[in-house]
Structure 1
Amino acid sequence: MAKSLQGLLKQIETLQKQADALRSREKADVVARIKEAIAHYDITADELFGASPAKATRRRAATAKVAGKRRKAAARKTGGVAKYTDGNGRTWSGVGKRPNWFKDALAAGKQPEDLLVNR
């Protein structure tokens, strides 16, 4: 039973319309359930999406006092363990944007393996 390309494309279009309609109905149900949960638990936008930096700072300052005492600040995260070095004291953990010294070394013909801390 051979089908023509045109027939298959029409069938795909019909199925896509059916899928879009079903997705819209499901989405409406999900949004309604979310709204109901937000109302039931009195969830704020800050709790749901996170606070803006200014609000977060004020909230941290307000919650820093516990029973009249200040809580110790949480330890800051470090940049990680150095994975690459240029031999002149500059290092990079391999996470995030490549530093200029690393890009310059690659442009000069070095391979990333050549810059590893523990070769």
Structure 2
Amino acid sequence: MASLKDLLAQRAALEQQIAETQERERSDAIAKVKTLMSEYGLSVADLTARSAKVAGKASKVAAKYRNQATGETWSGRGLQPKWLKAAIAGGAKLDDFVI
């Protein structure tokens, strides 16, 4: 059975190996990215501009239905709002609220 001192030494050696492996893999990844950027003529600005465009695509959807009494709107996506459910339950049609 290994002593505490031996186990601590093994842990220290493993932690060192982990750190070295992380650094090596990180360096390899950076080299791959640089190669791809060079191959496709990309700059860092290209990467950040593209990611900003993707992030900005989550825009608000235009309203398709409006409650004439209160001015509340619904885009037609997701669950129907309570005001619309109540109106439909009261005999109104969805087409009555189309903008």
- Which one has the largest radius of gyration? 2
Which structure's relative contact order is higher, taking Cα pairs within 8 Å and 6+ residues apart?
Answer: 2
Give the TM-score taking structure 2 as reference length. 0.47
Structure with the bigger percentage of helix: 2
What is the TM-score of this pair, normalised by structure 1? 0.40
